[in-house]
Structure 1
Amino acid sequence: MRRPLVHLAAALAAGTVGIGALALVSGSVPGVAGLGPLLAEAQGHTDRAVHSRPAQVPAADLPDWARAGEAEVTVVRPGEAAGEGAGEAVRADLAVPAGFTLPATCAPVERVGMPFDGGGDEWPDSRRPGHRCGGWSAVVAGDHLYVWR
């Protein structure tokens, strides 16, 4: 009877160490905050890129009107494991300069919705107002811009 308890204790200890290691590593991937996004990235469900300036972001990943300033941009696309149905989904977030405004062609919407992967902990609430700017959804929250399609 003692041997099964020893095995159970060893398994629980190993699991705890593994989860602790993942939690420590989660801070080492740029643009990834939290265990869920880290696992999605590790499993190939998302593909994350961090660019030092908006001008470095590929044209398909950020609208022209969102390229103001010199802030770091995090872009997330569906990864290879996301499957063929992911299409052209993409989301990006960046700090914008003081006085930044969306183009006049952007239409306000009551509930902005959410990007393909939910956006993560730092993403604005999907039930809040936002804007539709052509094929992009956008939220300006303080000095931060969130865009996705």
Structure 2
Amino acid sequence: MIDTSALLDLCRAQGLKLGTAESCTGGMVGAWLTEVPGSSDVFDRGFITYSNAAKQDMLGVQKATLDTYGAVSEQVAAEMAVGALARSQADITVSITGIAGPGGSEHKPEGRVCFGLAHGDIIHVETQEFGALGRDKVRAAAAKHALMLLTQGAEARSVQA
């Protein structure tokens, strides 16, 4: 498990604010961050955008991107992270969109999760294949991975400063 207190302390020391844009995790990352007393000085906000309409309305994800690549894609993850950054006071945002299961398809199997990380002019995207672990375990693995990405983003910001 990622030490959320350490992540919050790192951001606090640098004066950084965090934001999240979550789909398949339904707010788990934000919930884990806010379990730590005093997290409100670092965690700005979280967007829970489970539906495609929410991704478009709340984060500005383009309909054409959704139609072309599907919700579970690095392209959508990038637009989610950038949208969260633009629509918040956060300095670093992470996005999560994936197939927690049960089920999936040949082209987008259960356990595939796409992530976006945005800070400054940097946008990083990646896909993780967690496998058919079951819905709860895929969601937990995705949330842990997102916290790791936020930590990496905060560490990268400290190197740039």
Give the TM-score taking structure 2 as reference length: 0.31
More helix by share: 2
Greater C-alpha radius of gyration: 1
Higher relative CO (Cα under 8 Å, sequence separation at least 6) belongs to 2
Give the TM-score taking structure 1 as reference length: 0.32
